[in-house]
Each structure stands twice: as C-alpha cells, then as structure tokens.
Structure 1
Amino acid sequence: MTAGRVGIVLVSHSAAVASAVAELALGLAGGGDRAPILPAGGTPDGGLGTSAELIASAAKAVDTGAGVAILVDLGSAVLTVKALLAEADELPPDTRLVDAPFVEGAVAALVTASGGGDLDAVTSAATEAYTYRKR
C-alpha cells in the first residue's frame, strides 16, 4: 500500500460479493503498486446485511491520509454509511460516500487512485462509470 493514495472500501450486503468485486478490481487494475482497497461485506457473524463496525474498520485500514472513497451495493448500505458519516469520529477525515455503480465504479476508482488521483478524481472516475455502455 502506498502512502498518500486514496483508499477504497467496498460495502456489500454479502461478504462474498464485496470480496469478489475487490478481487476483480485488483486484477483489472494491473500490476504494480495499487491503492488500498478492502471489502466490508455482510455482518460480523457472516450473515447478509451491513455492519457499521466492519465498514469503519475497513475505512481506517485503507486510510493513508488522502481520503477514503466508499462504494456501496444497495440502499440500506447507503443508510449505514450515511449514519457513520454523521458521527464525528467513526470514519477517517475526508471519507466520501460515492454514488457509482458497484462493479464498474470500483474498478474505475481503484485504477484512478492507483494512478495517484486525488479524492475528487477518484469520485469522478467512479461516478462516470454510470455512462459506460454495454451495447
């Protein structure tokens, strides 16, 4: 993990989905020194859902001082992250909930962060993934 790069947290209701998307993003981002990315999926007991504790822990683990981008899969994950953002000390400074497609946004965010993009650039790249056409 390189200091000074934006960290990325992938929040899914499923630990397996969050881990698989992180693995895919890492594979597609290429070799070399990549920005930190961690999954925060499911509940601490392995069930489906979201966990404020897992999200906060992952965000702190990927924080290198350049900000943290959090991407989520479904609506209630948004609510969990928003609740954490409302609490002063739950997430690292400059943590941002990014409105982006989960898979494509994760890849775009990781590639941009690994290339040294700042939090605004990472957010923009992930958000722009909404425009990717599949036809």
Structure 2
Amino acid sequence: MVGVVLISHSGPLAAEVAALAAQIGGAGVPVAAAGGTEDGRLGTSPDLVAAAVEKVDQGDGVVLIPDLGSSVLTARLAEGPGVVIADVPFVEGAIAAVVTAGAGASLEAVLAAAEESRTFRKL
C-alpha cells in the first residue's frame, strides 16, 4: 500500500490532518505526520520527514504532502525513487491521497488523486 507523509511547519497541524485523513480514509492506511522541529518549535525537520517516510513505506511508494514554504524544500530532500511530492492543498490533498491509497491504488494513482484536489471545487 502507498504511504502518505504530511509535512507541516506545525506539529499539531500535521498530526490533526493525519488523524482526519486516517479517519476518512479508513484504518490501515500508512499515514504519518512530520510537523515542526524535534524540540516542538515551528519549522520543518529533514530528520522527522525521513523517519516518517521510513515508517509508512511498505514498498509501494510514498507521497509527501508539504504545507508551504520551506516544507517544500524539506520534502525535496526526501524525494527520490518511489518517494514523490504532491503540490496540493494540504487538507484536501491529504484526504484524497489517503482514501485512494486505502483503495489499493498505485503510487501514480494516489499522486493523481491528490493533485485532482486542486481543481475539484471548479467542477
């Protein structure tokens, strides 16, 4: 199953969005929050992101969803084979990714579903 990592400047924000997405997406979807710094301040941490990627990676790939600014730069440090960044609205993209991953979709399909969340309100 594809894993999802939510990268935010705020630890509580990342944790709450992860909890919301997991509740909507169903149990068993590997989703992790990587928010804030190791000492609880605002910011992003490459080490927290790397640990979250390792936690959710089940071999089918990982989608990183950063919130803004430097979280995108931090996500880019973790990007690589099987680890992709979704440029999406934080909450909507997270929910779309987790729901789609929960359906057993491929990495490409999970990324596409998350990216579709940018335009779904225009339909």
Q: What's the TM-score once normalised by structure 2's chain length? A: 0.94
The gaps in structure 1 that reach 5 residues or longer are 86-90
Is residue 13–residue 49 contact of structure 1 (8 Å, CA) maintained in 2? yes
* Equivalent-residue separation in structure 1 for 2:51 and 2:113 (angstroms): 25
Match of 2:108 in 1: 120
* Equivalent-residue separation in structure 2 for 1:60 and 1:71 (angstroms): 15
Deviation by residue 1:76-125 (Cα, 9 ceiling, x = unmatched):
1111111333xxxxx6x400011111100000000000100000000000
* Equivalent-residue separation in structure 2 for 1:129 and 1:28 (angstroms): 15
The gaps in structure 2 that reach 5 residues or longer are none
1:15-94 to structure 2, matched below 5 A, reads 15-30=11-26, 33-85=27-79, 93-94=81-82
Deviation by residue 1:20-71 (Cα, 9 ceiling, x = unmatched):
00011111124xx432000000000000000000000000010000000000
SS in 1 for 2:6: strand
Q: Percent identity?
A: 51
* Equivalent-residue separation in structure 1 for 2:54 and 2:23 (angstroms): 23
The structure with more radius of gyration:
1
- Aligned pair count? 123
* Equivalent-residue separation in structure 2 for 1:131 and 1:96 (angstroms): 20
Runs of 4+ aligned residues of structure 1 deviating over 2 Å after TM superposition are: none
* Equivalent-residue separation in structure 2 for 1:57 and 1:114 (angstroms): 21
